[in-house]
Structure 1
Amino acid sequence: MRKQQLLMLTRINLLYANPQMTDKARKKGKTGGKLTRYLLWQYGLSGLTFILIYGVAMFTMDFSQMPGFFTYYVALFGILGFSQGISAIYNVFFESQDLMAYLPLPFRQTEIFAAKISVVFLTVAPFVFPMMVLFLLTGVRASLFFVVTIGVSILLFLFVLVILFSICSLIVFGLTRTKFFLKHKKLVTTLLLVVTMIVVMAGVLMMNQVTSYDTEILDRGAIVFLLPFYYAMTAPFHLSGVLSFVGIIGLAVLLVGALYWLILPKFFEQVAAAAPNQGNLTRKHKKGRSLSQLLFNYNSQLIRDPNLIMQVFSSSLLMPIVFLLSFVFTGVFRLDQLDERFLGVMFVAGGALAALMVNPTSFVSNLISLDQENFLFVRSLPLSMKTYLKAKFHFGLLIQIMLAVVVAVVAMFLLQAPFVLGCAFVLGAIWSTILISSHYFARDYRLLLLQWTNISQLFARGAGSVGLALVTMGTIFLAAIVIGAYAFAATIVDFWLLNLPVCIALLVITLIVYLQIHLKFWRRFS
């Protein structure tokens, strides 16, 4: 493989992966190597943020004496990487629609594949970076020489990435190669989405069902097939560690070999054959429908793309679902003993849940940009833009409220919350969803991007994955502090004396958000 060509292709795909970030850097005077280093630094900051989110929770644990929790965290970050990897690989290789631009150029298939997979790595790696911290902490607690700890941690982390990306690539390319996929692309992509969701949810459920937080138990049951990583990290020079290293290396080589021999020889042909939007599309025209019905049907078509659904699930729904399942199966929170004093606490907790579910990767946050060139066409029609955007916002808000209500109701049922407290939790989720959705819908128009070729470009607008991670981390910490303080106050302060000022504060926040969105966004379309 030619080094210079590979580096050039990787740089091009890096610039292409996030055009808004690239344009922002160019406006700052970044060009050439400085531009590339700037973009790499942004991805590095994203990884650092995820390390801070999860690293704080792991720092106090002695994983060298806890093979169960070690394998648990390896599995957790592996599942996060798997869910992101599946969607990112399909998005970059089969939805980017840029293959034809490479055909006349003197690039080999292996070079194009390696360049694209490098961009996928940069997109997904932040979700897996905490595993590096896990390895380092384990090596330090195992009293390994510091240089050895760093070296072994880096090697193990790289092998994990190779294994993870190879499995994801084999799954995606294996499915898209079948004749059934070529005939039923939408159906197979939907199945890929469903299977990924099932695998992620089943993995989280299985791991949490066997967790025990009894104070007399220092560890949990180990996940057997991940123990080689534990032995390689804690005893790299013993027989168990050496054999584990050999097994990990052998698995990585086997998977890479499968990619090289099974996928790369027909890489061009497969991606070209699986390209979207091929063939004639037959549309059924229905008469007698009102404007609101037509717009509702049009917006529903925009979000039916299985790839979009998969990306939204993995980016905005997976984390709150994982948190809730962890609470349910570990028994950390018991709500059946709470009384009406905690109504306000549950309302705020529901709002915190919605704040995790509505972010720059949500449906309502990208609904305008999903129009692409259709937005310019609609703007040229004798149709009120305010009417058009109102219909779009109400549709997106309905979707977000439905998602929030479903998750909130299921959470309250599993946590056995009293009916009144459960209602407060659901109402809090709805209230927060309305406010945050208004903000992100206006943000979509402010950062309008119509020339995108894959969904990840929309998700990376603004502060990108770094901003998303920071907002998520800030939401979690702030929610924990506020809910904890509120719950403590509910036990010692009179109900109305505590909750009346809280109600007034919530009304003030609602009014401020409404006025801000109305004055800065909706009023321009009057």
Structure 2
Amino acid sequence: MNKLQLSELVRTNLRYANPQITDKLRRKGKSGKELTRSLINQYLFSGVAFLFIYGTTMFMLDFSKLPGFFTYYVALFTILAFSQGISVIYNIFFESRDLPAYLPLPFSQGTIFLSKILVVTMTVSPFVFPMFIVFMMTGWRSGIFMPLTILLSLLLFLLILAIVFTFCSLIVFGLTRTSFFKKHKKVVTSLLLGLSMTIAVIGIIWMNMESSSTGIEQMDRNPIIFFMLIFHISATPFSTAGLISFAGLLGLLLVLFEGIKLLILPRLYEQLTEASAAKGNIRRTYKANQSLSQLYISYNLQLLKEPNLIMQVLSNSLLMPIIFIVTFAIGGMLNLSALDIRFIGVVFLAGAAIAAMTVNQTSFISNLISLDQENFTFLQSLPISIHYYMKQKFLVGLIIQSILTGAISLIAGFVFKLPPALIIALLAGALLGCFLFCLRFFSRDYQFLLLDWTSITQLFNRGSGSIGLVVTMLGTIFGSILVLTAYGFATAFLPFWPLNLFVLAVLFLFIFLWIRHYRKKFWHQFK
């Protein structure tokens, strides 16, 4: 394999995956290797940020003496890597439209495959980087020399990612090779991406149910047997169990690599070309006597029916908040059934915090304008009210986001066993927050309008890219914790009515200024 070609292809794919960030860095004078380093630093910063989010709980645990918690965290991040891997591999290989650019160039199919898989690894690694810290903490607490611990932890981390991504590749390429996929592309795509999401959600729920069953009085939890192999490698790498476990994982990876070599690489160009040409059975239903409003709503709903878009949005905007909530909910054992009604304001703001976590730059509302692609320019040239069209588009996005955010808040309310009145307050806060954040991210979509995108990830990375997403998530989490903690203490020690009337007045003023800002800066430009 030509290493120079591989290096150039990786650089090209990095730029292709983040076109707006690439342009922004180029305007700052960065090019060549410096530009590549800056793009890679985006992913490194994201990994450090996620490490900071989860590190607050992991650094307090001695994993060398807690194999149950070790296997729990490794399983959690492996499930996340699998779910993200299925989605990203399908998106980069089968939804990207860069294949014609490669065909006339003298690149081997193996080089192209490896370059794209490396970009997949850089895309997904930040979300699962805390797993590397679990390995490092385990080796360090086990008394292994620190430089050797870092080296072994990095090797084990890359080994597990390689196993997960090769397994995901075999699943994705195997399903897309079937004749059923060629006839029913959307159905198979929905099943493929839906399966990965279902496995992630069920896996997380199952692990936390297992956590609850072990009893809160126990120091450790029941270990997951399969992941004990990884524990032996991390805690006692030079023992018989550690060496046998490492040999077993390495053998599994070699078998998967052989499967890639025999089943995927020989027909890579052919399969990608066939998959790109496959449209499936398209049924168009003609509805007579539709009003203009109904026509706009129907059109925008059609934009959101693409299975790949749906699963990318759900996995990016909902899966991470769910994992965060589950991880910090002490295995689902937090019981708030006795919470006093005087905390209704705190719960209301907690609902708004849920909305802030579920409505971000990867949400439906945040990409709905750019999904029009060239149709948006065409619509602007027609003698129709673009203001009315945008209002209908916003309405569709708002309703969908409200359903998703409302569902998450209801689930949280029931999981934490909130009293009925507080569940209603949580839902009300979530819906209000959803409306306010939808205003922000809908206008942001227009601010960073991208109509010539070729991959959904390009839309997600607009603006400040993955760094912006992580910074926003960090700011939301810790800002929400600070505000809710302060409000909670104030509620416990200050008179109810004076405090809450003051908070209500501040809230009304904030909402008024927020809506007024977006009315003047965004909506007025379409009149």
TM-score (norm 2): 0.97
Q: Structure 1 residue runs of 4+, over 6 Å off?
A: none
Q: Aligned equivalents of 1:141 and 1:214: distance in 2?
A: 25
SS of structure 2 residue aligned to 1:438: helix
Counterpart AA for 2:151: G
Contact 2:109 2:265 in 1 (8 A): yes
Return the offset for 1:283: 3.6
- 2:11: which partner in 1? 11
- 2:190: which partner in 1? 190
- 1:295: which partner in 2? 296
1:7-35 residue CA offsets vs partner (Å, 9 max, x unmatched): 11111111111110111111111122222
SS of structure 1 residue aligned to 2:211: coil
Aligned length: 526
Q: Aligned equivalents of 1:367 and 1:202: distance in 2?
A: 29
CA change 1:197–1:222 in 2 (3 A) is same
Counterpart AA for 2:16: Y
Counterpart AA for 2:158: L
- 2:99: which partner in 1? 99
1:378-436 residue CA offsets vs partner (Å, 9 max, x unmatched): 01001122111111111101110111112222322333321111110000000100101
1:166-207 residue CA offsets vs partner (Å, 9 max, x unmatched): 111111111111111111000011111221121011100111
Return the offset for 1:281: 5.6
Counterpart AA for 2:196: T
Contact 1:209 1:329 in 2 (8 A): no
- 1:164: which partner in 2? 164
Counterpart AA for 2:95: E
Counterpart AA for 1:333: L
- 2:460: which partner in 1? 459
Contact 1:231 1:240 in 2 (8 A): yes
- 1:304: which partner in 2? 305
Q: Aligned equivalents of 2:386 and 2:470: distance in 1?
A: 33
- 1:433: which partner in 2? 434
1:36-185 correspondence to structure 2 within 5 Å: 36-185=36-185
Q: Aligned equivalents of 1:334 and 1:147: distance in 2?
A: 43
Counterpart AA for 2:364: F
Q: Aligned equivalents of 1:24 and 1:328: distance in 2?
A: 39
Q: Aligned equivalents of 2:420 and 2:117: distance in 1?
A: 49
Structure 2 gaps, min length 5 = none
1:323-359 residue CA offsets vs partner (Å, 9 max, x unmatched): 4445677344212112311110110111111111000
1:411 aligns with 2:436: no
Contact 2:210 2:222 in 1 (8 A): yes
Contact 1:94 1:276 in 2 (8 A): no
Q: Aligned equivalents of 1:221 and 1:278: distance in 2?
A: 47
Contact 1:92 1:454 in 2 (8 A): yes
Counterpart AA for 1:516: H
CA change 1:75–1:350 in 2 (3 A) is same
Q: Aligned equivalents of 1:369 and 1:163: distance in 2?
A: 35
Contact 1:344 1:499 in 2 (8 A): yes
CA change 1:310–1:280 in 2 (3 A) is closer
1:493 aligns with 2:494: yes
CA change 1:276–1:202 in 2 (3 A) is farther
Contact 2:71 2:227 in 1 (8 A): yes
Contact 1:397 1:434 in 2 (8 A): yes
1:244-259 correspondence to structure 2 within 5 Å: 244-259=245-260
Contact 1:327 1:333 in 2 (8 A): no
Q: Aligned equivalents of 1:331 and 1:183: distance in 2?
A: 43
Counterpart AA for 1:178: T
Q: Aligned equivalents of 1:514 and 1:402: distance in 2?
A: 21
Return the offset for 1:487: 2.2
1:229-259 residue CA offsets vs partner (Å, 9 max, x unmatched): 1111111111111111111111111111111
- 1:502: which partner in 2? 503
CA change 1:279–1:68 in 2 (3 A) is closer
CA change 1:62–1:282 in 2 (3 A) is closer
1:374 aligns with 2:383: no
Q: Aligned equivalents of 1:372 and 1:284: distance in 2?
A: 22
Contact 1:365 1:444 in 2 (8 A): yes
Counterpart AA for 1:312: V
Return the offset for 1:505: 1.4
Counterpart AA for 1:387: Y
Q: Aligned equivalents of 1:451 and 1:244: distance in 2?
A: 48
- 1:224: which partner in 2? 225
- 1:240: which partner in 2? 241
1:322 aligns with 2:323: yes
Contact 1:328 1:414 in 2 (8 A): no
1:288-327 residue CA offsets vs partner (Å, 9 max, x unmatched): 1111100000000011111011111111111222344456
Contact 1:63 1:138 in 2 (8 A): yes
Contact 2:304 2:310 in 1 (8 A): yes
SS of structure 2 residue aligned to 1:275: helix
TM-score (norm 1): 0.97
Return the offset for 1:215: 5.6
1:20 aligns with 2:53: no
1:448-480 residue CA offsets vs partner (Å, 9 max, x unmatched): 001100100000011111111111122111212
Structure 1 gaps, min length 5 = none
Q: What is the percentage of aligned positions where both structures have the same residue? A: 52
Q: Aligned equivalents of 1:280 and 1:343: distance in 2?
A: 51
Q: Aligned equivalents of 1:331 and 1:368: distance in 2?
A: 38
1:210 aligns with 2:210: yes
Q: Aligned equivalents of 1:470 and 1:297: distance in 2?
A: 35
